[in-house]
Amino acid sequence: MQRINIDGLKVPVLGFGTWRLKEQGCVDAVKYALSNGYRHIDTAQIYENEDAVGTAIKESEIPRDEIFLTTKIWMDSAHDGDVQKSMEESLRKLKVEYADLVLMHWPIADVPFEETFRAFEDIRQRGMTRSIGVSNFTVAQMKDVKETLGIDIVCNQVEYHPALSQQPVLNYIQTHKMFLTAYCPLGRGEVLYNSAINDIADRHHKSPAQVVLRWLVQQEDVVAIPKAGTKSHIRENFDVFDFNLSEEEMHEIYNQARDDGRIINPAWAPEWDSAKAA
């Protein structure tokens, strides 16, 4: 498994996403992923599956220090005190003593960043997590946390796939000792019908999904966390380390980005960065 090294934090570049996986189905999927080589598991409080993820990790019998475990704190727990309480609950459900990475799931407009991220600093100092980061933050918001407040965030988890450019975020993380975690990396399946991606897949005797995941993890400081509910897709998504895309193929996939390519855009989302600003 390839890893990104960020200030001594070794992050597997391909993880297993668990959004929408529930109860025993989640347990079985995570255990199967771990048995097939995955060592990076991503969950969140709002997914309501931390307990199942924790059960799977425990039943896998894989040593805890071999698994990179990420969870996220939801928006209703952004205040100082609530961050700590919700983290304690997450660790109890996950059946672990610490997480490797904890993210603020979305930026909160009505809670000062200073309050939220001083609390995040507290859970890190207390050993509840090895590192902290953000999710769905813009470049300006990352600057506010990392530069204005001086908080050492290491990751921004954002929607990223061939139909959506994230160049402004990439430019920032690649110059500030951070990494980008790509959620929704297959664009909910839409990109798999892209003719250019299918042509590249045919050349490499790979599936379109494998080409897209290879494109992501071949980028500097980028991690991908595809979700899969079936054994065949779990195996297929992991089988991306035996080929490389050429520079021309990488650029061909970059060129599939569209202005309307974003899929995840709830009412509480920030004003997203424009790719034209990169």
Active site amino acids = 47
Angle separating helix axes 208-217 and 195-204, nearest 10 degrees:
90
**Rounded distance between C-alpha atoms, residue 191 and residue 198, angstroms:** 9
> Considering only CA atoms, which of 120, 97, 90 is closest in space to residue 108?
120
* 3-state DSSP assignment of residue 40: strand
Burial environment of residue 90 by CB neighbours within 10 A (0 to 12, 13 to 18, 19 or more):
buried
Q: What is the largest CA-CA distance in the chain?
A: 54
Phi, psi (deg, nearest 5) at residue 2: -75, 145
The CA dihedral of 211, 190, 256, 195, to the nearest 10 degrees, is 70
For 151-164, letters b (16+ CB in 10 Å) and e give: bbbbbbbbbbbbbb
